[in-house]
Structure 1
Amino acid sequence: MTDYFERLSGPRVQRVLNVLVEAPFFYRDDDRDLFAFLRKHRAVFARFYDDLYGWELIVDAQCARVYKTRWHNPALKPSQHDVFDLTRRDDCIAFLLVLEYYEHLIDERDISIDDPSLPRFEFGELFAFARARCAEVLGEESATDERVRRLLRGLMPTLLRYRFLREVEPDAEERARIDADHMLYECLPALRHYDARLLGPRALHQALRVPELSQEAEEAP
């Protein structure tokens, strides 16, 4: 390892190597100084990960991640890999809806990748967008309010866990009065790494090609 980082600060190198594997994404706002160090020396870190692990290091203005293209332990089942990997059809549909809504937000608010402000939204705003999109694809009768709500709510814990979204905590007094539709969320930079537009304009149509949302969403708790 010293061959790669002999000219860099050992403690800072160690911290970078750790934060990049402690969670799927390392954000600039997590530690601005350390993130700047990584960006400055990303070519060295990228070579290290590629040569020793076969991983790809991806760094943009606000987010860094290491991308692993294959697994090496054949004893592990896919469900035992602790990674963001949606397998349920309804979760995939909900994620497509979230990505489309995110693209809608940054276009509507003219937010660039270098913009320090992160878009925020209320759950009810996301629901209204998703409801309209599902109705556009499925028709009004199939895209019922309850089904779309369950579809989105089923995915929210995963998006929070893997830090695609952050729940903006209201103060204690406000929380007692606020309902689920008015809960505020902040979009985190990792969403930019999953550009729904690259999938093509018919991606959601293809995912929803059955006549109604699956029963998984309807039966979700």
Structure 2
Amino acid sequence: MNDEYLELLKKYPDRFIAVNNILTEAAWFYKTDEPELFYELQHYESAFRNFYKRNFDWELRIDGKCARLVKNKVYNPELGNTGIVEFKLRGRDEYIAFLLLIEFYEKMLSEQSLSASDRENPTFIFGEYLDYVVSRMTMLFPERKDIDAESVKKKILRPLMEKLIDYRFLRALPRDGERIEQDKTIYEALPACCQYNAGALEKNLEELHHAD
């Protein structure tokens, strides 16, 4: 086991145990979750990085707003597709809608005069994202007859939004005592969105377009 990590664990057992638990409890550890513990992770990044690499062959990725552990495969063959290794999407349309979320995120940053490093995260109404996905999919796949707002919302975005929330890409903002329609639900785009490069993803969209 990493000597630097062991020495630090002896000095700060409670904090190191807490950081390890937070890193393994969810896909992303955001600075806003536990600012003091996130600072500890940043400060002792090399010790944590070496510990996870040497003992589990996991990669620690961290920036100013979030951190995560990346595991490259499932070791237990009995888990099949149930092992949580990476963000999994169902079918091509969900994948396309996710790529479009990253595009939409970049658009929101520009429109709301924000940068990915700002403390504030962009927010949007579900209907705005729905309109964006329908518009871009219609542009990318003009030959498809099944791309309309109701179909995209029901067949693609409803199941996708649950995954985006579970995997902490998005957070639905509460409305105290107010019942609202899904199209008017306000979401916050969380820092995980900035971990993906919209320019590089554009190539994937074009490849999907030409594959038809």
Shared fold, TM over 0.5: yes
**Superposition CA RMSD, Å:** 2.0
Instruction: Work out the CA distance in 2 between the residues paired with 1:204 and 1:29.
Output: 32
C-alpha distance in 2 between matches for 1:166 and 1:183: 10
- Whichever residue aligns with residue 206 of structure 2, its letter is H
| 2:94 alignment partner, one of 88, 91, 95 | 91
- Offset of residue 70 of structure 1: 2.4
Q: Which residue pairs with 2:192 in the alignment? A: 190
CA contact (8 A) 1:24 1:66 kept: yes
Q: Map Cα deviations across residues 130-161 of structure 1 (whole Å, 9 max, x no partner).
A: 12111211238733222222222220111111
Matches of residues 121-200 of structure 1 in structure 2 within 5 Å? 121-139=124-142, 142=145, 143-150=147-154, 151-172=156-177, 174-175=178-179, 178-199=180-201
Q: Which runs of 5+ in 1 are unaligned?
A: 212-221
Which residue does the alignment assign to 1:6? 7
SS across alignment from 1:75: helix
> Percent of pairs identical after alignment?
38
What TM-score, normalized by structure 2, do the two folds share? Answer: 0.88
Give the drift of 1:207. Answer: 2.7
Counterpart of 2:208?
207
TM-score relative to the length of structure 1? 0.85
Q: Distance in 2 between matches of 1:56 and 1:103?
A: 26
Q: CA distance change for structure 1 residues 2 and 92 in 2, over 3 Å: closer, same or farther?
A: closer
**1:2 & 1:60 partners in 2: Cα distance?**
22
Mapped partners of 2:211, 2:118: distance in 1: 39
Where in structure 2 are there 5+ consecutive unaligned residues? none
The list of structure 1 runs, each at least 4 consecutive aligned residues, that deviate by more than 3 angstroms after superposition, is: 208-211
> Does the 8 Å CA contact 1:164/1:189 hold for their aligned counterparts?
yes
Establish whether residue 29 from structure 1 lines up as the match of residue 27 from structure 2. no
| CA-CA distance at 1:171 after TM superposition | 1.4
In structure 1, distance between residues paired with 2:2 and 2:207: 49
2:109 touches 2:116 (CA, 8 Å); kept in 1? no
CA contact (8 A) 2:131 2:149 kept: no
Relative to structure 2, which stretch is displaced further, 134-143 or 155-164?
134-143
